[in-house]
Structure formats: C-alpha cells, structure tokens
Amino acid sequence: MGDKKKLLIIEDDADLVRALQLYFSANYEVVTAANGLEGLQVLYNERPDIVILDIAMPKMDGWEVCRRIRELSDVPIVILTARVQEDERVRGLRLGADDYVVKPFSLKELEARLEAVLRRAQAAKPMKEGIVFANEELVIDADRMTVIREGKPLDLTPTELRLLFLLAENEGRVLTHRQILEKIWGSEYEDEVDYVKLFIYRLRRKLEADPQKPRYILSERGIGYRFVNPLA
C-alpha cells in the first residue's frame, strides 16, 4: 500500500462513495469525508495526493471547500458537479480546481481524469534547467521549482507552474491554445480552450502587478499567448 497514491473523496452521497471506494481501492489508498468541514480536517490529517470534491454538500459547499483547500495546499482537485452550465465550470477552475467531471459520469472517465491530473502534477519540471527567466523583478528557477517576484515566492499549483515554465521557455514566441493544451493537459484536452484561458487568468492574478493590464503574459487574440520581458 505504501506505493499507492492517497485519494480523498469529499462527497455526501453514501452510495456514490461506496462505489468510488470499491472501484478505486485497487490502485489508491482511499480516505473519505461526508461533508466539507470533515473534508478539510481529513485533508489536514491525511495529506492526500489528489482530491475528488463534490459541489452540492451540506454544512460547506464544494466552492468554499475548494477555496479553503487552495489556502492550505496545492493538492490536485477534481470537482464533481451535476451542473453543466459553463459559468459553474469556470467558477470551479478559477477557484483552483484542476479539472471537473459532470454527473452522471463513468468510473473509467473519472479514473482517466484523475490519472491525467496526477501526471500533470508530477511533470511540472520544465525542459530547461537552471534559471528559465530572470529580470530585476521576476526569477523563474527550474532547479528550485520556484518563481520569485520582487523578492517573494509565488504560491503556484503544479499545473500553474508547468504552464508558466512552458511560456517562459518560449519567451517571445506565440503559443497557440492547442499547443499549450497538448503540452500541459494532453491531446485528449485539445479542444478545451477554456482550460487555457482560466489558468492564464489564475497565473496573471499571481504574477502580474495589474492582471487587467498584463506585462508578462500577453494575449494574441484568437490565437494564444506570448511571454515577454517588459523590462528588456
């Protein structure tokens, strides 16, 4: 069991929890919580490698749980939701979720999503070594896996970190939405342009002094994004 990844399921539907436990216990060490408050406590005590998080729960809904998890940890989060509206999906990704699955779903689909999220979390190391980018206010260090802005480290999730490495490694070049999706999320996500837009939004909030007027990550309308050195 020692080599298994630990999976935390935060879900109030007991029947669904049993089904998930039965399915995932062969490949994961599964721990569970029946509501949001309990989920945060289990997260703190168990230090899981990945979280499945339901949205509609008593005591504390999944939105608030997701926000609080992101204050504590960069653990990957896959949201379960019965809501298919785009604004709900956007809300989850903006709050820090790594992916989402809409109910009803197949267990194989959910398993594939978990595996993809874990691959991204474990593959944050950039292609280049050493300092990927540096100027007077920003340092992106591949060896230390850190990003320092004005002397302070930025708290980036593994996917955010990997996306920033990719952009910085290609300084001055326009990367299309599809190129970014294939490199960061994989070919199965190549049509999910919203993922790129939302993770760029998250990066800009942490990286840019004014996210509404970005200086490092520039949009190429309808094409993709370009990383530049504004102090060059």
Q: What is the pLDDT of residues 143-165, one digit of tens each?
A: 888 999 999 999 988 889 989 99
CATH class of 5-122: alpha beta
CATH architecture of 131-227: Orthogonal Bundle (1.10)
**Residue found by looking up tokens 């790129």 in the block:** 196
| Span 10-46, pLDDT tens digits | 999 999 999 999 999 999 999 999 999 999 999 999 9
Per the prediction, the chain carries an average pLDDT of 90
pLDDT value at position 214? 97
Q: What is the pTM of this model?
A: 0.76
User: Per DSSP, which regions of 82-216 are E strands?
Assistant: 99-102, 131-134, 138-141, 146-149, 152-153, 174-176
pLDDT > 90: percent of the chain: 63
Q: What is the largest CA-CA distance in the chain?
A: 58
Spans of all domains in the chain: 5-122, 131-227
Say how many C-beta atoms besides its own lie within 10 A of residue 14's C-beta. Answer: 10
pLDDT > 70: percent of the chain: 94
Q: Say if 5-122 and 131-227 have the same CATH topology.
A: no
- Residue 32: alpha-carbon gap to chain centroid: 21
